Amino acid sequence: MKEIKLVLAGCGTVFPVYLGVLKAIEVLDISISGINCTSGGALIGSLIASGFNSSKLEEVVTNMDFKSMQDWSLNPFYKMGLLNGDNILKTLKNLTNRSFSSAVIPINIVTTDIETADTVMLNVSTAPNVLLADAARASLAIPLLFKYYELVGKKLVDGGTTNNFNIDGFGEELNIVGIRAIGTRTTEKINIANPISYIGKIAEIMIEANEREHIKDAVYANIKKIVVPYDNLSFNHTKEDVKKMIKIGNRVRLPITPCIVN
C-alpha cells in the first residue's frame, strides 16, 4: 500500500481546505501513517487521527457554526484572551474522545509554552493520556485572542507562535507531504478595524517568519502551498464558504511521491 506522513500547517479558520486535501489523498488510495499539525491544522488533524474519513469529516465541517467559535470572554484578563475557546473545545469533545494513546493514526500536535517560549510537542510519548480535543484546543490558542490552555502542567498557546509548520518533525523520511493553507489575512493588506484584526495580523507576521525557517530546513519534504480567497481569522464563514474551501483543497495537485510499504 502507498503511504505518506502528513503535515498540516496552522491556517486559522480556513481549515476546511485540509478536508479537500484528505479527499484527494483518499482518491489516490494512499494511507496516512502519521500526522504533524498545528493550530487550525490540529483541529482537522485530531479528527483524522481519531479515524474520521473525508465523508464523515465533510458532514461535520460543513455543519460547523463558525460564529459560535467567537465566544467573548467577560474577563479578558483571566488567562489573557478575548475569546474563551470553550465552544471549539465542546465541539471537538462531542466528536472525539480519543487520547494520544488511543489515536487511530499517530499524531503530533504542536503547542507553545507561553511562560518559557518553548515549543511543546504533544504526542503519545509526552502526553499519552491527554485527549486530542484538549491538545487541539491548546494548539489553536492564538495569544491574546483565545485564552491560553493548561495541559501537562504548562500554560499553552498556539503552536504557530514558535512552529506553525512542523515539516521537519518527521526527520529525513522521504514520504512526507506538507500542506500550507494561506488565507487573505496573510496575503493581502487588511483594515485594522478591531482587536481581532489587530491581534490576528500581528500573529500572522510572526507565524509567517517562523514558517520560512522550518521550510528552509525541510529538504526531504514535498510541500504544497494553497492560497485560499478567504480571511483566515474570520468567524463568518457560511456553509457555502466551507464547501468552496473544500473544493479548493480537493482541486490542488498534491506533491505526492509516496513510498510503497508492505
pLDDT of residue 205: 60
The half-sphere exposure of 116 on its side-chain side, counting CA atoms within 13 A, is 10
Q: What residues have CB less than 8 Å from 54, skipping those under 6 apart?
A: 19, 22, 23, 26
Among 160, 137, 145, which residue's Cα sits nearest to residue 233?
Answer: 145
Inter-residue contact 38 to 165 (CB < 8 Å): yes
Strands (DSSP E) along the chain, which ranges?
A: 2-8, 30-38, 81-83, 107-113, 118-122, 144-146, 149-151, 154-158, 176-182, 222-227, 259-260
pLDDT of residue 1: 61
Among 4, 25, 17, which residue's Cα sits nearest to residue 180?
Answer: 17
Helix (H) or strand (E) holding 239: helix 239-251
Angstrom CA distances, 101 to 81, 108, 122, 125, 219, stand at 30, 11, 11, 9, 30
What pairs with residue 30 in β-bridges?
2
pLDDT in single tens digits along all 262 residues of the chain = 689 999 999 999 999 999 999 999 999 899 999 999 999 999 999 999 999 999 999 999 999 999 999 999 999 999 999 999 999 999 999 999 999 999 999 999 999 999 999 999 999 999 999 999 999 999 999 988 999 999 999 999 999 889 988 988 887 777 889 999 988 765 556 566 667 666 666 666 665 655 555 555 444 458 888 999 998 888 999 999 999 999 999 998 776 654 444 3
The half-sphere exposure of 151 on its side-chain side, counting CA atoms within 13 A, is 30
pLDDT of residue 262: 35
Nearest-Å Rg of the Cα atoms of the chain is: 17
Four-CA torsion 136, 14, 231, 70, nearest 10 degrees: -40
pLDDT of residue 175: 86
List % helix, strand, coil for the chain (3-state, nearest 5). 40, 25, 40
Cell of 253: 495537485
Counts of helices then strands in the chain (DSSP H, E) = 9, 11
